[in-house]
Amino acid sequence: MKNLLSTKEVAQLLDVNEKMVYTLVSEKGLPATKVTGKWLFPRHLVEQWIEAHTINYPENGIKLPPYHGLLIIAGSNDMLLDKAINLFNTSSTAHLAVFGNLGSMGGLKALRQNLCHMASSHLLQENEDEYNFDFAVKELDRMPAVVNFCRREQGLLVGKKNPKKIKQVSDLTRPEVRIANRPLGTGTRLLLDHELKKAGINGEKIAGYTCEFSRHLDVGLEILAGRADAAPAVRAVAGILDLEFLPLRWERYDLMVSKDRFFDEGIQRFLSLLHEKKFHELAGSLSGYDLSLSGKMIFPQDR
């Protein structure tokens, strides 16, 4: 496969000898898989590993201008967030919020590069208890302020009445099942890959695994159109498109803000919306949302 590298190719990529590659696998967590006794390395995971271990990023000279009415949010796609942005934009003609759909990791990178005011993220940590902190520490120079936007239910979308009788993640490997997937760097893709790893499944063997769509609604439309049988997404999509939903877990979906911009007027206006009745009514119009933590400061913790 083109996207799998040999030990020799990885050694050339890293400019080390082949023995050092084995050391990096055992001691530094270099992503690798063994097939018929031979080590193979998924290229995209190797590239992610290199980026994750990069230190001393060059100083970024880009600085967001002082807030003058334009609020920039980047990161993870969410339908309730879309509605909240629309509510913000219709609440005052002097303020405008725009969103960059970059995935959770993309949002963190944009925050690091001073390209946005807030990043939306739901990256599940290895301990399965916390979200975002480990990723933020690795990506950013210092921990940002973290405010919860909502809790939401993640799972697998399947067709009405579940025609392929899909009941769990392992059923995705059946030859007659095809999925629509979310891109690398999204929290939803991370969750699916995490569940596949727990089940001992190589995602590359699932039909449609590399067929990626940028929004939760898009993967649902693939199922509705008959081009896919299952897809990772939030429960809200099932409610909107009248699809079936197989739950995996409730997750925390957060907004991360650089501490030096936290009290910008636009940011405070947006966060204040999370406590308003209109926002709660919007959440009530969608399935799979819980606002019990909405607007709460996750880090630094409220005292």
Percent of the chain with pLDDT over 70: 95
For residue 1, pLDDT beyond 50: no
Quick one: 195 exposed, middle or buried, by C-beta within 10 A (0-12, 13-18, 19+)? buried
Residue 28: predicted pLDDT: 80
What CATH number is attached to the domain comprising 288?
3.40.190.10
pLDDT band at 208 (very low <50, low <70, confident <90, very high): very high
What CATH number is attached to the domain comprising 47?
1.10.10
Domain that holds residue 9: 4-52
Residue 46: predicted pLDDT: 85
Give the pLDDT mean for 258-274.
Answer: 95
Flag whether 139 is in a domain.
yes
C-alpha 85/C-alpha 105 separation (Å) is 20
Encode pLDDT of 9-51 as tens digits.
Answer: 989 989 899 888 888 888 888 888 887 778 888 887 888 778 6
Flag whether 64 is in a domain.
no
**Neighbour-count burial for 106-124, b at 16+ CB within 10 Å, e otherwise:** bbbbbbbeebbbbbbbbbb
Encode pLDDT of 227-241 as tens digits.
Answer: 999 999 999 999 999
Looking at per-residue pLDDT, the higher value among 42 and 284 belongs to 284
Residue 303: predicted pLDDT: 45
Q: How many domains does the chain have?
A: 3
C-alpha 256/C-alpha 143 separation (Å) is 9
For 203, phi then psi, to 5°, come to -60, -30
Residue 55: predicted pLDDT: 59
C-alpha 64/C-alpha 82 separation (Å) is 23
Flag whether 216 is in a domain.
yes
Closest to 231 (Cα-Cα) out of 252, 250, 206: 206
For residue 67, pLDDT beyond 90: yes
Tell me, yes or no, whether 171 and 146 share the same domain. Answer: no
Whether the Cβ atoms of residue 153 and residue 239 lie closer than 8 Å to each other: no
